[in-house]
DNA sequence: CCATGTGAAAACTTTCACAGCG
DNA sequence: CGCTGTGAAAGTTTTCACATGG
């Protein structure tokens, strides 16, 4: 996926870091910190201060020389970059299983201007009920409801086997973007952004990092032992 | 985070792609596809065939010239890279809320050799009960249980405010890696890998991609109109 | 003739170095 | 004097081009 901001190309890694800066700024605001330097933010994120300044520069975010960035102002500006303000992003969830229910119940997403308006499922026992305040519809009604409610984002928490069909339905309904938790790569028209979050992949990745870290620790240990032997 | 495989440096993007190849190979295996070309895999992932071959080459994975890669063999080899085989990765979950419960209940993670052995919470009503077959302990017992059960991975599904304390506890207990779902950046010794998955950040990122895609579509439209006007 | 495997080129990202401002 | 802002260098990743083998 290629993303732009104004006329600049933005890498997905940069977008991720921007979202993380926002998270840190929320924390700093909570702590009543009024200004923050690129160095401090860099230390929090585990990146270099130059990286932070470069990122901000890309989006035209400026600080004060000598003191740093104003926390509240920076936070507001980054929120704007992420589309906060105009109106709330209406979301729906497809698949009212335990993960779907957990996502809808979690209020943290609402903090950033997202709002669940509908849930869909195939289980007749769930259809017609509510999750919190969100009504559960039949998947057959997906298109109608999305169009009627002007839902922008479809969150897929369905089994891998239904992923393809549900993605097609969402696209036909005119969804603007898809957040896919189903463990399958889905194909949609290039005009509709898809972000896939595969939780089992995160476990695999962590396992790889652990092995890599422990391997390096062992090698370092061996190095130390070899050196002390040589003396 | 810097990761290695043998003596080669591996970027986190490469690790992500490897995990996604594994997901696709599982699908292909399910479909009884016996061989796959770099071109086919590339089309599934939305990357170039050269990228696929370069990735495989990095890990010493080879195919057959003229036909491609053997699906089952490739899948087994990538599983090995991710640490499958030797023994199962024992996991625990800290925070038995709805997300924690959903993660424990989901069986997909077990498919890759991960296994939940314990859950921890501070709610006295939950302590002593079970989630599925997994016992819920008090957070006070975290160190003892992790050491006793030789738990490798700690999954944090706690509120942001407890993230720091829980991360410290896990590290003291000798955890080998942390998967953090709490919306806060956590600081741990460099020897312990942390992978943070912030679900609200995924929404923000998607919102950014949507805006970017729609902006580009508008510009393209304007271009077309300007061109047809000029004729 | 097909698709892999791989040096080398191109593109991109990060770091460096330092000028510039509060 | 401290910290930002930014061109340019260094480093990394991706793409290209093509030799190689079934």
B-chain CB neighbours of A19 within 8 Å are 198, 201, 204-205
C-beta atoms of B44 and A185 within 8 A: yes
> Is A208 in CB contact (< 8 Å) with chain B?
yes
A9 touches strand C (CB under 7 A): yes
Of B3, B200, B207, the CB nearest to A209: B3
Cα(B188)–Cα(B223) distance, integer angstroms:
51
Q: Which nucleotides of C are covered by protein (CB under 7 A)?
A: 1-7, 12-17, 20-22
| DSSP bridge partners of B92 | B118, B154
Burial B181-193 (b: 16+ CB within 10 A, else e): bbbbbbebeeebb
pLDDT in the model for residue A76: 97
Give nearest nucleotide to B36 (CA–C1').
Answer: C3
Whether any strand D atom is under 7 angstroms from the Cβ of A21: the reply reads no
- For range A26-33, the mean pLDDT: 97
- Residues A3 and B213: their CA atoms lie apart, in Å, by 7
User: How far from chain centre, in Å, is Cα B40?
Assistant: 23
Question: How far away is chain A from the Cα of B17, in angstroms, using its nearest Cα?
Answer: 10
Q: What is the pLDDT of residue A230?
A: 58
Are B179 and B195 spatial neighbours (Cβ–Cβ below 8 Å)?
yes
Q: Is residue A92 within 8 Å of A151, Cβ to Cβ?
A: yes
A:15-34 residues touching chain B, CB 8 A cutoff = 15-16, 18-20, 22-24, 27
Q: Give the mean model confidence (pLDDT) for residues A132-141.
A: 97
Kindly report the nearest CA distance between residue A184 and chain B, in angstroms: 7
pLDDT in tens, A165-193: 999 999 999 999 999 999 999 999 999 99
DSSP A130: E
Q: Examine the pLDDT at A225 and tell me if it is beyond 60.
A: yes
Closest residue, chain B, to A108 (C-alpha): B200
CB-strand contact B66/C, under 7 Å:
yes
Q: What is the mean pLDDT of residues A116-144?
A: 97
- Nearest protein residue, CA measured to C1' of D20: B65
Q: Is the pLDDT of residue A32 over 80?
A: yes
Please check the confidence at residue B194 and state whether its pLDDT lies above 60.
Answer: yes
Name which of B46, B221, B168, B124 is nearest A186 in CA terms.
B46
Inter-chain CB proximity A207 and B27 less than 8 Å: no
* Percent residues over pLDDT 70 in chain A: 98
């Amino acid at each position: 996926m290629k993303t732009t901001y104004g006329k600049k190309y933005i890498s997905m890694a940069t977008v991720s870091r921007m979202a993380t800066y926002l998270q840190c700024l929320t924390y700093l605001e909570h702590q009543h910190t009024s200004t923050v330097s690129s160095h401090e933010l860099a230390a929090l994120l585990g990146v270099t201060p130059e990286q932070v300044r470069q990122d901000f520069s890309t989006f035209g975010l400026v600080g004060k020389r000598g003191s740093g960035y104003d926390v509240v102002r920076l936070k507001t500006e980054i929120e704007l970059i992420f589309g906060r303000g105009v109106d709330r992003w209406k979301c729906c969830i497809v698949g009212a299983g335990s993960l779907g229910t957990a996502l809808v119940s979690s209020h943290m997403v609402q903090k950033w201007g997202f709002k669940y308006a509908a849930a869909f499922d195939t289980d007749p026992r769930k259809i017609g009920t509510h999750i919190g305040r969100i009504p559960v519809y039949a998947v057959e009604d997906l298109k109608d409801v999305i169009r009627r409610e002007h839902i922008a984002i479809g969150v897929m928490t369905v089994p891998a086997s239904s992923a393809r069909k549900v993605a097609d339905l969402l696209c036909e309904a005119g969804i603007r973007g898809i957040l896919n938790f189903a463990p399958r790569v889905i194909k949609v028209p290039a005009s509709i952004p898809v972000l896939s979050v595969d939780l089992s992949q995160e476990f695999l990745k962590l396992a790889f990092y652990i092995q890599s870290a422990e391997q390096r620790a062992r090698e370092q240990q061996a190095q130390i032992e070899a050196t002390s032997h040589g003396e």
